Structure 1
């Protein structure tokens, strides 16, 4: 009888923690197919009105290079607004919206 009482308490807790485990970091490969240095890359889930922190941190993405990035926001969403800021005046800031879970890889072009 004691086993069943313990199971009645533990099973819902395990089920709840399994649901919470769905919120994972999103890993994508970003490729810079432009002729300019990409200085910063901001993302925000669709519907969030403010840009979140620069995913690059102190890094930049040189022309022709690619980088594996982790969007570690703990959310379980896939559709993100993205903002790309380039060095110099050659390319303007660019924005786009994509399902990053489905893509897994994104190439920024001029």
Structure 2
């Protein structure tokens, strides 16, 4: 099971990092320090009233693993909201994060 999870995390990281980062792109490490896999991960500008697409797109990030996230939305803002949905149905959200200065984010 962990091998499949690690492959999914590696695939997610590869998918998110295909294009070279530009000045507007934001990159950080997403860490799942919970006991439950993350099935959905959403990032939206803080000014938005809705969540953007699921960055996991059918994959998941197992408990105890991390992956690199690259946001290539071309926006000049640094303020974003994030949301994770877990395989047990729980959802955690955090608002108004400065992703320009954020090197990593940990769900605990």
Instruction: Work out whether the TM-score is over 0.5.
Output: yes
The TM-score with structure 2 as length reference comes to 0.73
Contact 1:26 1:72 in 2 (8 A): yes
**Stretches of structure 2 lacking an aligned partner (at least 5 in a row):** 1-21
Q: Which structure would you say has the larger Rg?
A: 1
Match of 1:100 in 2: 99
Q: How does 1:1-110 map to 2 (within 5 A)?
A: 22=23, 24-89=24-89, 92-97=90-95, 98-109=97-108
C-alpha distance in 1, partners of 2:72/2:62?
23
Number of corresponding residues = 86
Q: Which runs of 4+ in 1 moved over 2 A?
A: none
Structure with the higher fraction of residues in helix conformation: 1
**Stretches of structure 1 lacking an aligned partner (at least 5 in a row):** 1-20
